[in-house]
Structure 1
Amino acid sequence: MRYTGTRVAVSTSGRTEEAQVFTTVLDEQIQVYLIRADRYFDRDYLYATPEGDYADNAERFAFFARAALELLGGMDFPDVLHAHDWQAALAIALLKTQPERYPSLASIRTVFTLHNLGYQGLFSPDQWHLLNLDPALFSPEGLEFYGKINFLKGGLVFAEALTTVSPTYAQEIRTSEYGFGLEGIFQQRSANLVGIMNGVDYKVWNPATDPFIAQQYTAEDPSRKRPCKAALQAAFGLAQDSDIPLLGAVSRLTSQKGFDLLEAALDELLHRDVQFVLLGTGDAQHQDYFKTAAARYPGKVGVRIAYEEALAHKIEAGADMFLMPSRYEPSGLTQLYSLKYGTIPVVRATGGLKDTIEEFDPATGKGNGFCFEPFEASAFLAAVNRALAVFQNKNQWKTLMTNAMTADYSWSRSASEYLNLYRRLLKE
């Protein structure tokens, strides 16, 4: 990475703030520009501390949006402005409502991707002056949302094309159950909304090359997964027995991820001859519950309240099944990692989980996991029971592992869909 020598200046709160522009090249062909402004971004966390959001987030990301537009305005090649989530959404609102400020970007097309509607960038109206937008836009048709400023709406209202991270989630957010109060916008803009699955970087998540796991393995010889299971059992102090089904989870510990459901089902689940390991951080009540569960079930339950990249890889490789009982899941990536590692997902059929996990049918040998739909402990346990039944049949389980490990969810597939979207926009 190198400093380009370029600075961009943005006036905010009666003063001028400058950002330095850095650049680097990825994969020897993709040039990336980065905006450095230590006043706003040289912090221990991205958006919030454990105590809560940074108080100046509205100013931070209003600055970021305007700095990005100033940078783009000095380039001669932009065709598409593609912004992601509330942190970048304001750039599209500024571009579309103030074209006179950015004349060199008059022909640029705009795409906005939302990854999780639970995060909208809500701020009190007294911070409107930081946005440099016409006060008339603080309205239900603009960025107002139940008396607050909603940064996310800057992208949802003004972008020419909207995407989200799975086809099913694109349908779900049009309903009151999943729309977080914005379902009306998605209904109005349904013709401009498309769901495109996230992809997996198989250079990072691949059991054939993974440097973190006890034994590398492939779909051609999944039996080489066994040492990974033994190593994981040892790491968590569990009984080392390859015949005991080992269930894993790597996640934020939140209600969105279904941990209230997992808590409701855990005691009954552990009455079976199974083991369970968990890696993650999140809400204090969930952290406390699972730490207590590990103490109550020594030798059966292992819990690490943290996020450790190496241990996440070890769980993906060492577990037999991977639990994702999400209340909602826009896309999900860990179920895709699990498929590649032959660690069979047990998921709630919502969002991207519904798009990527197909119930295994022992009669036909088709499918790559196990699904349930009602957000109920009984439905979750029934799905686990189906997985455990197939686990006892080694031939069926091998077929299931092969189905999972040979599925292709690489970024190349997702990237081609984005390219097609860009090309359609540029032809309009």
Structure 2
Amino acid sequence: MRILFASSEAFPLVKTGGLGDVSSSLPAALKRRRQDVRLVLPAYPRAASRLADPTRLPGPADAPWSLIQGYLPGTSVMVYLVDWPRYFERDGDPYRATDGSDWPDNPQRFAAFASAVASMSVDEAQLDWMPEVLHLNDWQTGLVPVYLRDHPRRPPIVFTIHNLAYQGLFPAETRHALGLPEDLWHMEALEFHNQLSFMKGGLVFSDLITTVSPTYAREIQTPEQGMGLDGVLRARASSLHGILNGVDYREWNPEKDGYLDTHYSADDLSGKAQNKASLQRELRLPEREDIMLLGHVGRMVSQKGIDLLLEACAPLLAAGRMQLVLVGNGDRGFEDWARSLAYDHPEACSTVIAYNEGLAHRVEAGADAFLMPSRFEPCGMNQMYSLRYGTPPIVHATGGLADTVIDANPATLGDRTATGFCFLPADTAALTRAIERALALFDEPGQERWRSMMRNGMGRDFGWNTSSAAYLDLYRSLRA
């Protein structure tokens, strides 16, 4: 099947979060199923420099953009980069300038990208190739089905919500700058509380909607987590599917992870302790095997519950009951708070304000447990990485976290199905209780039940095989 997969990021070309992981690993999984899947994203300088075997294609006649064709590194997935220098040839990440502020022309940038994807999907880009299914991802592609709504060769469209909190909302007058027809300016199309919503374009004008876990698919139809779009999603409930994201175990596998000095497996856990000692040395913490080392990697924003984490851990660090490693960046206030925690407890806490792919892998391998107290989490990837690395996650039971982590309680510890620690509600007290439960289990003499839980998690399979099959079934239903 011919599938065009459009995204604003894809690892290792460019990545700011989980969208980048999914946008590379799902097409690669579909390719392994012998599908003709092709990936398209903007030609950011970083992406163009990392593309394998690049060649330049002309694009449509008289268009202000062209295409750079190549391959996703390490795969046989063909990639098209939309080379539109006015919008994408600049420093910074896909959405922000180097000073951390959003690009002021983001609506124009991603409307331009959407128009290029629309042209490619109806064979107007001199590719002599037209997709049977177009798969779009998040608000940055939300205008594609709007541009295609009346086109006679419009392919069936799947639109995936990776995080409903990011909707691509812009002032009402932006619609004039983008040349959008006035008949789209109403609450059942692109208008959202007198703002222009790119996300609504994807939700209203696509054939099927997916999101990244079954629980999140239910949650976003409620006023509590629907971010104002729950009514739209309930109206489209029959077309909404929750498919859990998968993990690319070629990248995330402690038996052969290139970022680790020592490899290990569920059958031989000895390397886990060596990775812990290496991480402690790297981050200048005392090398202690007897104390629990908790890790966290993620964006330092309210959604991720970083404030809950910092509040819960401070007294435990002061009491000398644990060590903590924090890796990530985000809101300046949370970054400063995390730095202060490390400053106050230099023998127990290390904070790295940056995203570092190698360090993220070493935290998963070296930590004893992984903290993930997100207030909401569409899917989450780190908890699944943690399970494979024998690092039981401590999670708020929401979205994909609830779908992937089995709480350690007397019943699940007894039948050896426990894989981590879940807590409710999303507050400091509940998180503290979950950490206390983890500390108590970790401190048991011999750690027999702890090691059993580690092996349970390492045995869970969250690879892309099942999820890619589910997407392929959806594509086939649309084609039919």
Scaled to the shorter chain, the TM-score interval is: over 0.9
| Aligned-partner residue type, residue 383 of structure 2 | Q
1:62 maps to 2:114: no
| Aligned-partner residue type, residue 8 of structure 1 | P
Number of the residue aligned with 2:335: 287
Number of the residue aligned with 1:402: 455
CA deviations over 1:328-384 (Å, ceiling 9, x no partner): 111101111111110110000011101101112322221211000201111111111
Number of the residue aligned with 1:417: 470
Task: Indicate conservation of the 8 Å contact 1:175/1:183, yes or no.
Answer: yes
Work out the CA distance in 1 between the residues paired with 2:304 and 2:216: 15
Number of the residue aligned with 1:197: 244
SS at match of 2:435: helix
Work out the CA distance in 2 between the residues paired with 1:377 and 1:143: 38
Q: Given the alignment, which residue of 195, 209, 216 partners 2:256? A: 209
Task: Indicate conservation of the 8 Å contact 1:58/1:130, yes or no.
Answer: no
Q: Given the alignment, which residue of 346, 355, 358 partners 1:298? A: 346
SS at match of 2:163: coil
> Please, which moves more after superposition, 409-418 or 262-271?
262-271
**Matched positions, count:** 415
Number of the residue aligned with 1:71: 120
| Aligned-partner residue type, residue 354 of structure 1 | A
> Please, which moves more after superposition, 66-75 or 203-212?
66-75
Work out the CA distance in 2 between the residues paired with 1:17 and 1:261: 50
1:20 maps to 2:73: no
Number of the residue aligned with 2:358: 310
Number of the residue aligned with 2:322: 274
Task: Indicate conservation of the 8 Å contact 1:357/1:370, yes or no.
Answer: yes
Distance 1:76 1:309, change over 3 A: closer
1:127 maps to 2:167: no
Work out the CA distance in 1 between the residues paired with 2:110 and 2:375: 29
Distance 1:234 1:187, change over 3 A: same
Trace 1:317-336 onto structure 2 (pairs within 5 A): 317-336=365-384
Q: CA deviation at 1:29?
A: 4.3
Work out the CA distance in 2 between the residues paired with 1:137 and 1:72: 22
CA deviations over 1:283-324 (Å, ceiling 9, x no partner): 111111111111111210111111111111111110000000
Task: Indicate conservation of the 8 Å contact 1:8/1:21, yes or no.
Answer: no
Q: Given the alignment, which residue of 178, 186, 210 partners 1:163? A: 210
Trace 1:176-195 onto structure 2 (pairs within 5 A): 176-195=223-242
Distance 1:318 1:160, change over 3 A: same
Task: Indicate conservation of the 8 Å contact 2:120/2:130, yes or no.
Answer: no
Task: Indicate conservation of the 8 Å contact 1:3/1:20, yes or no.
Answer: no
Number of the residue aligned with 1:12: none
Work out the CA distance in 2 between the residues paired with 1:60 and 1:248: 36
| Aligned-partner residue type, residue 95 of structure 1 | L
Distance 1:154 1:237, change over 3 A: same
| Aligned-partner residue type, residue 2 of structure 1 | P
Work out the CA distance in 2 between the residues paired with 1:40 and 1:230: 46
Task: Indicate conservation of the 8 Å contact 1:252/1:280, yes or no.
Answer: yes
Task: Indicate conservation of the 8 Å contact 1:321/1:343, yes or no.
Answer: yes
Number of the residue aligned with 1:48: 96
Please list every run of 5 or more consecutive structure 2 residues that lacks an aligned counterpart in the other structure: 1-52
1:109 maps to 2:175: no
Number of the residue aligned with 1:13: none
CA deviations over 1:367-407 (Å, ceiling 9, x no partner): 21100020111111111111112212311111111111111
Please list every run of 5 or more consecutive structure 1 residues that lacks an aligned counterpart in the other structure: 10-15
Trace 1:364-383 onto structure 2 (pairs within 5 A): 364-383=415-434
Task: Indicate conservation of the 8 Å contact 1:166/1:355, yes or no.
Answer: yes
TM-score (norm 1): 0.94
CA deviations over 1:42-82 (Å, ceiling 9, x no partner): 12221122442111111111111111121222244311111
Task: Indicate conservation of the 8 Å contact 2:121/2:134, yes or no.
Answer: no
Work out the CA distance in 2 between the residues paired with 1:55 and 1:313: 34
Number of the residue aligned with 2:187: 140
Task: Indicate conservation of the 8 Å contact 2:122/2:130, yes or no.
Answer: no
Work out the CA distance in 1 between the residues paired with 2:450 and 2:418: 11
TM-score (norm 2): 0.84
Work out the CA distance in 2 between the residues paired with 1:340 and 1:189: 35
Work out the CA distance in 1 between the residues paired with 2:206 and 2:177: 21
Q: Given the alignment, which residue of 68, 81, 84 partners 1:34? A: 81
